[in-house]
Amino acid sequence: MKKIEKIAVLTSGGDSPGMNGAIRAVVRTGLNYNLEVFGIKRGYQGMIEGDFFPLKSESVRDIIQRGGTILRTARSEEFKTPEGRKKAYENLKKFKIDAVIIIGGDGSFKGAGIFSQEFDIPFVGVPGTIDNDMFGTDYTIGFDTALNTVTEAIDRIKDTAHSHDRTFFIEVMGRDAGFIALKAGIATGAEMVLIPEIPGQEEKLEAFLSHTKKTSNIIIVAEGNNLGGAAELAKNFGKKYKEHGVRVNVLGHIQRGGSPTAFDRYLASRMGVEAVDALMDNQRSIMIGYTNHEVVHIPFNKTIKGKRDIGKELLRVNEILSK
C-alpha cells in the first residue's frame, strides 16, 4: 500500500451528536502522525464538487461539546452512480488524498465499500448514527445523547399525562430499528413500546387499552413500527378509547441535536483515534466498532450485510417492567 501522507475526513448521512468529537480526534491524531488532514464539506456531494479544505489543530478547538457537524452533511444521489464516484475520485487525486475517514451510517459505508473496490483509495468508517443499528458495534456515536434527550422529554410529558389522566403516544426516531424506543421505554417506565422488530402488536395494544386500569399511560412508538406513526395510532385508537384522552407527541429532530453526552464524546474520541491508527496500520474497508468496552475492526461487507439484533434480554426486561 502507498505510504499515507495526506488524509481527508467527512461526515455523511444524518447528523448525530458526537460527530464533531470524532472529527477532532481524526484531525489531531493525523497531525500526531505528521499527516496533512483535509476536511470535505457536505459528505460525498462535497467530494464530487471538490469542496475540500485543510484542517489544523486549531480548526477543531472547542468543537467537542457541539452537536451537529462542522463539516456539514448531505445525501448524494450522484455518488450512487459510476460517473459520480469517478468525479469524486478525480478530486481526491487532485488534492493528493491518500486515504479517507468517513463518519456516518450503513448507507455511507455501503458507498465507501463500493468506492474502495473501484479505486485505489482506502476508506475507514466511524459509525455515527443515533439509531445504534450498526452491526459489529455495541454503540454508535450519537445514540447515548439521543437516548438521554428522549428520556428527558418523556419524563416531562409524563408529568402532564399524570396531571390530566391522559394516554400519550410518543413517536421517536427509528425507521428500521427500535433501539431508541426500547431503551427509552425501559428508562422511563413506559407502559408499552412499539418497534419495527416486533410485528403484529395491534392485538396487544388493543388489549392494553381496553383492560388497563391506569389513568395515565406512555406508549412509545418507533417511527418505523408496522402499525404506523403516533398520529395514525392516536387517530385509530383515540376515538375507540375516548376515556384515555389520547394525545400525540412527535419528538422529531430534537433527538439529533444538542451537546453530546460525556459517553458520546469519549466514544467519538476513541473511534477517531483508532480510525487513523488503522489507516497507518494498512487497514482499509473497515468500520471501527466498540464491543465489550474495546475498539474493534469490522469489515465493511460484514457491517453492511449484517443486521444487529434488538436483543431478547432487552425485550424480556421491558416486558417484565411494563406490567
Residue of 98, 131, 133, 144 marked catalytic: 131
User: How would you write 93-148 as a 3-class SS string?
Assistant: HHCCCCEEEEEECHHHHHHHHHHHHHCCCCEEEEEECCCCCCCCCCCCECHHHHHH
Contacts of 109 (CB under 8 A, 6+ apart): 102, 125, 287, 300, 303, 304
Cell numbers of 51, please?
469542496
CA distance to 152, 209, 239, 288, per residue, from 242 (Å):
27, 10, 5, 50
Is there a catalytic annotation at residue 131? Answer: yes
Residue with cell 402532564: 160
**168 has which bridge partners?**
218, 247
CA 289, CA 274: separation in Å to the nearest integer? 10
Judged on CB neighbours under 10 Å (0-12, 13-18, 19+), 159 is: exposed
What do you get for the CA distance between the two ends of the chain, in Å?
Answer: 58
Q: Residue 194 corresponds to which amino acid?
A: L
CA distance to 19, 115, 200, 237, per residue, from 246 (Å):
37, 49, 21, 8
CA atoms within 13 A on the CB side of 224: 14
CA 287, CA 284: separation in Å to the nearest integer? 9
Query: H or E stretch including 281?
Result: none
Q: Residue 64 corresponds to which amino acid?
A: I
CA distance to 54, 93, 103, 134, per residue, from 96 (Å):
12, 5, 20, 31
Give catalytic residues, as residue numbers: 131
